[in-house]
C-alpha cells in the first residue's frame, strides 16, 4: 500500500490538497492512505469486553447504512470475521483521555482508545465518514486513513432550558444524540424557572402540582400579551433516570441546574413560606411573562432545609460531580425590604443584598459539599464574594471568568457574545420576514462568530488558563415553543461550538470548516433535524465578476456589490438621503446574448421606513454612454426586458428623496 504522505500531518494541510474529510470537530492529526474499506451487512464488530456498550451503539448506527445491526463479538471469542471493525482499549495509556486512534485499511477498521469515552468518540468519527443516507445496495466505502485525535477541553457543553418551555423525553434524547455526534460531553439541563418547575421532588409534591403549570404564555410576536392557555409539564424521577442513563451510555455528563435564589417564582408559588413573605404586597405566582422577576428565596433556616432536601433527591438522580445552582439575576429588593432578612444582615454583618447573595451561595456550597458534590453557578455567584471552591460559568462576557481564573477558581466560558444560541442566526429582519414563529430573544450570532471564539483569554497566563475547563453554548427557550425551534437555533451552530471545544486553536480555519460542514448538513437532514441554513458573512463581490458602482454613500458593510451577489439575505443600503440623478449602475461581465427580463426591487424590512425608491427609472445601455429608459419604478419595483447586447443596467433617481435606499437584488431571468 502506498501512502500519499510519509508522515502524520495536521488536517489543515489537507485543505490545500484534496477536499477535506467531512469530520467535525476537526481531528488533531490525519494521514490519508490509498484505497478504502468496503463496509456491508457482513461487517461485524470485534470488541474488548469492557467496550460492549460502545460496540452496541455503533452496531445500531451501522444499521442505518446496511439495513441491519452489525453483529458484535467479544475479543475472547476467537471467531474468524472476514469483514470487521475492531474496538480496543490501549493498555499502554499512550492516548490522551477521551482521545482515540482510528485506522482504516482495505482489510479492516480499528479504533483504539485509553478509555471507553475515547472509543465512543472514535465511533462518532467513523459515522461521519459514512454516507448520510443509506446507499441503494447497503454498502459503503470508508476511505483508508489514520487519525490520531483527542479533545482540547474537558468541558464541551450545551445548555437547554426546559423551564420556559417543556420538551418530551424523546426530544431530550434527540438532543443528547446531537451532542454525541459532535463529541460534546456535557448536557447542562436547566430544570427550574419562574415560569415552570420541571423536576419531580417527592418530598415537595406541590413543586410539580402547582409550580409546573402557568396560566398563560406570550405568543410569538407580542411579548407583553397572553395566549390564555394553561401550559406546563415535568419529568418524573423515573424519566430522569432514563435520560441520565441514555446520556451516560453516550459519555455525556448531565449537569442539573436548580436555579436559586432568584428565578424561583414557581417554587415560591407552590410553597409561599419559601419566599420573603414579610414584605408588603407579597403575592407569588408562576410567572406568565419572560424576563427577571422579583421573587427570591428567603435566606432562612427553613429555606436551607428545603434546599438540602431538594439537592438530596437531585443527587440521587444525577451522578454528576457538578451541580448547578444558577445564582444569576437575583434581585435584591425583596431581601432589603424584608424585616426578617434585615435582621439576618445585622446578625451576620452583611452590608447589602450582594452580601446576602454571597451568604446564600456559601450555604448552598456547604450543602453540596456534604453530599460529595461541587457547586457551579453563573458568574453572579461572585457578587459579595465567591465561595472558596465554587466553579464559575461566565456568561456576562469573559470578565467574571477571567477574574475567577486569576483567583484560582475553575471556569467554564459561556459568554453571551459568542455562545447564546437563542440569538438570531441570520439578521432579525431576514428571519422575521418568514413569519412571527421565527422570533428570537434578540441579538445576531452567525455561525462564523461562534467559530471565531477562543475560550482561553489572552489576559490569563498559561498557568491561569489551566483553570478554563472548557466552553458551553446556551439555548434559553423563551422563544422555543417546540423542539423543532430548538433545533433551528442549535443547528448548525452546534458544529462550530464543537470545533471550538475540541480542536486545537492553531488547526482551526473557517473556510475549511465551512467546506466540511456541507456534508455534515446532509447528516442533519438525513436525521430529520430542523436546521437553519448557515448564514455566511457577505463578501464584497458580485456573483459572476460583474461590477457595481454608485454615486450614493454606503451604510456599514452593505456594499453595492451585494445588490448582485445572488443572495436574497444581503443588500445594498445607502447612508444618506437621495439626490436627483443619483444612480447605482451594474456593468455585466458579458453582454446579454438575447433580450432578458430584468427586475430591480428596492426597500426592505431592515429599515423602519422601508427605504424604497420613490421616483426613478430602470435603464440599460450597450456602450455606457447612451441610455434607454426601460421602466419607471412603481412601489419600489421596476421590471422590463433589456435588449440583446446590454452591457450596463442602471437605477436612476429622478427626484430627491428623504428616506435612504435599499436594493436587495437585481435579477436577470434566463433569456
Distance (Å) of CA 250 to CA 23, 133, 154, 158, 185: 18, 22, 15, 15, 8
The tens digit of pLDDT for each residue in 630-658 reads: 999 999 999 999 999 999 999 999 999 99
Q: What is the 3-state secondary structure (H, E, C) of 59-127?
A: HHHHHHHHCCCCCEEECCCCCCCCCEEEEEECCCCCCCCCCEEEEEECCEEEEEECCHHHHHHHHHHHH
258 touches 306 (CB < 8 A): no
- What domains are defined for the chain? 11-149 (3.30.379.10), 155-503 (3.20.20.80), 547-668 (2.60.120.260)
Taking the C-alpha atoms of 212, 214, 218 and 220 in order, what is their torsion angle to the nearest 10 degrees?
A: 40
pLDDT of the residue at 138: 87
- Give the separation between CA 493 and CA 466, rounded to whole angstroms: 26
Nine cell digits for residue 472? 458551553
616-621: strand order across its sheet:
547-550, 583-587, 648-653, 616-621, 628-632
Q: Which pLDDT score, from 0 to 100, does residue 3 have?
A: 34
* Contact status, residue 606 vs residue 617, Cβ threshold 8 Å: no
Exposure string of 586-598, with b = 16+ CB inside 10 Å and e = fewer, is bbbeeebeeebeb
- Looking at residue 412, its pLDDT comes to 98
* 223: exposed, middle or buried (Cβ count in 10 Å: 0-12, 13-18, 19+): middle
Residue whose grid cell is 455534515: 520
Cell numbers at 338, concatenated: 424584608
Q: Which residues contact 465 (CB under 8 A, 6 or more apart)?
A: 405, 456, 457
Distance CA 399, CA 379 (A): 9
DSSP 3-state of 26: coil
Note the pTM of the prediction, 2 decimals: 0.89
Select from 406, 478, 439 the least CA-distant residue to 194: 478
Give the C-alpha separation, 412 to 456, whole Å.
10
Q: For the packed helices 169-181 and 237-249, what is the interaxial angle rounded to 10 degrees?
A: 20
Running along the chain, 671 residues long, what does each successive block of 10 average in pLDDT? 32 48 97 96 96 98 93 88 95 95 98 98 98 92 97 98 98 98 98 98 98 98 96 98 98 98 98 97 97 97 98 98 97 96 96 96 97 97 90 97 97 98 92 94 96 97 98 98 98 98 97 97 97 92 96 94 92 96 97 97 88 97 96 97 97 97 92 58
Cα 247–252–256 angle (5° rounding)? Answer: 80
Angstrom distance (rounded) from CA 535 to CA 447: 7
pLDDT of residue 637: 97
What pLDDT was estimated at residue 12? 34
Secondary structure (3-state) at 469:
strand
pLDDT at 671: 58
Amino acid at each position: 500500500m502506498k501512502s500519499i504522505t510519509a508522515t502524520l500531518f495536521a488536517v489543515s494541510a489537507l485543505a490545500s490538497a484534496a477536499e477535506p474529510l467531512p469530520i467535525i470537530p476537526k481531528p488533531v492529526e490525519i494521514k490519508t492512505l490509498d484505497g478504502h474499506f468496503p463496509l456491508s451487512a457482513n461487517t461485524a464488530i470485534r470488541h474488548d469486553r469492557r467496550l460492549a456498550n460502545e460496540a452496541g451503539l455503533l452496531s445500531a448506527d451501522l444499521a442505518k447504512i446496511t439495513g441491519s445491526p452489525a453483529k458484535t463479538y467479544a475479543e475472547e471469542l476467537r471467531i474468524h470475521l472476514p469483514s470487521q471493525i475492531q474496538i480496543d482499549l490501549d493498555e499502554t495509556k499512550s492516548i490522551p483521555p477521551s482521545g482515540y486512534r482510528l485506522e482504516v485499511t482495505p482489510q479492516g477498521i480499528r479504533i483504539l482508545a485509553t478509555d471507553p469515552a475515547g472509543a465512543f468518540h472514535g465511533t462518532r468519527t467513523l459515522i461521519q465518514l459514512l454516507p448520510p443516507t443509506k446507499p441503494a445496495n447497503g454498502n459503503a466505502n470508508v476511505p483508508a486513513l489514520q487519525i490520531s485525535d483527542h479533545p482540547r477541553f474537558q468541558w464541551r457543553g450545551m445548555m437547554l432550558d426546559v423551564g420556559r418551555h417543556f420538551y418530551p423525553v424523546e426530544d431530550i434524547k434527540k438532543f443528547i444524540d446531537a451532542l454525541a455526534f459532535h463529541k460534546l460531553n456535557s448536557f447542562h439541563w436547566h430544570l427550574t424557572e419562574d415560569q415552570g418547575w420541571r423536576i419531580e421532588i417527592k418530598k415537595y409534591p406541590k413543586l410539580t402540582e402547582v409550580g409546573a403549570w402557568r396560566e398563560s404564555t406570550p405568543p410569538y410576536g407580542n411579548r407583553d400579551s397572553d395566549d390564555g392557555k394553561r401550559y406546563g409539564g415535568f419529568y418524573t424521577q423515573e424519566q430522569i433516570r432514563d435520560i441520565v442513563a441514555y446520556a451516560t451510555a453516550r459519555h455525556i455528563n448531565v449537569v442539573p441546574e436548580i436555579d436559586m435564589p432568584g428565578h424561583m417564582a414557581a417554587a415560591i408559588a407552590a410553597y409561599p413560606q419559601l419566599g420573603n413573605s414579610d414584605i408588603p404586597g407579597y403575592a407569588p405566582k408562576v410567572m406568565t411573562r419572560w424576563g427577571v422577576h422579583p421573587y427570591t428565596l428567603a435566606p432562612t433556616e427553613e429555606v436551607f432545609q428545603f434546599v438540602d432536601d431538594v439537592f438530596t433527591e437531585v443527587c440521587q438522580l444525577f451522578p454528576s460531580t457538578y451541580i448547578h445552582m444558577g445564582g444569576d439575576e437575583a434581585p435584591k429588593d425583596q431581601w432589603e425590604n424584608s424585616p426578617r432578612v434585615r435582621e439576618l444582615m445585622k446578625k451576620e454583618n452583611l452590608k447589602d443584598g450582594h452580601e446576602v447573595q454571597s451568604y446564600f451561595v456559601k450555604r448552598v456550597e456547604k450543602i453540596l459539599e456534604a453530599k460529595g458534590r461541587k457547586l457551579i453557578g453563573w458568574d453572579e455567584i461572585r457578587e459579595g464574594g465567591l465561595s472558596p471552591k465554587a466553579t464559575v460559568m461566565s456568561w456576562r462576557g469573559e470578565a467574571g471568568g477571567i477574574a475567577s481564573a486569576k483567583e484560582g477558581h475553575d471556569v467554564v466560558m459561556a459568554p453571551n457574545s459568542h455562545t447564546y444560541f437563542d440569538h438570531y442566526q441570520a439578521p432579525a429582519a431576514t428571519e422575521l420576514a418568514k413569519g412571527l414563529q421565527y422570533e428570537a430573544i434578540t441579538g445576531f450570532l452567525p455561525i462564523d462568530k461562534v467559530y471565531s471564539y477562543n475560550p482561553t483569554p489572552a489576559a490569563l497566563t498559561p498557568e491561569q488558563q489551566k483553570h478554563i475547563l472548557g466552553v458551553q453554548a446556551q439555548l434559553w427557550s423563551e422563544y422555543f415553543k417546540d423542539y423543532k425551534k430548538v433545533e433551528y437555533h442549535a443547528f448548525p451552530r452546534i458544529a462550530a461550538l464543537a470545533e471550538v471545544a475540541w480542536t486545537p486553536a492553531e488547526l482551526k480555519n473557517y473556510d475549511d470548516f465551512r467546506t466540511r460542514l456541507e456534508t455534515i448538513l446532509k447528516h442533519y437532514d438525513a436525521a430529520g433535524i430542523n436546521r437553519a441554513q448557515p448564514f455566511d458573512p457577505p463578501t464584497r463581490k458580485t456573483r459572476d465578476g460583474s461590477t457595481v458602482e454608485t454615486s450614493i454613500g454606503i451604510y456599514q458593510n452593505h456594499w453595492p456589490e451585494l445588490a448582485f451577489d445572488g443572495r436574497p439575505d444581503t443588500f445594498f443600503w445607502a447612508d444618506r438621503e437621495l439626490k436627483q440623478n443619483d444612480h447605482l449602475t451594474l456593468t455585466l461581465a458579458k453582454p446579454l446574448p438575447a433580450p432578458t427580463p430584468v427586475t430591480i426591487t428596492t426597500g426592505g424590512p431592515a429599515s423602519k421606513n422601508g427605504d424604497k425608491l420613490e421616483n426613478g427609472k430602470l435603464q440599460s445601455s450597450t456602450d455606457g454612454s447612451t441610455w434607454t429608459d426601460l421602466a419607471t419604478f412603481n412601489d419600489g419595483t421596476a421590471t422590463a426586458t433589456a435588449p440583446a447586447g446590454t452591457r450596463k443596467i442602471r437605477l436612476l433617481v429622478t427626484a430627491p428623496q428623504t428616506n435612504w435606499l435599499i436594493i436587495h437584488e437585481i435579477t436577470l431571468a434566463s433569456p
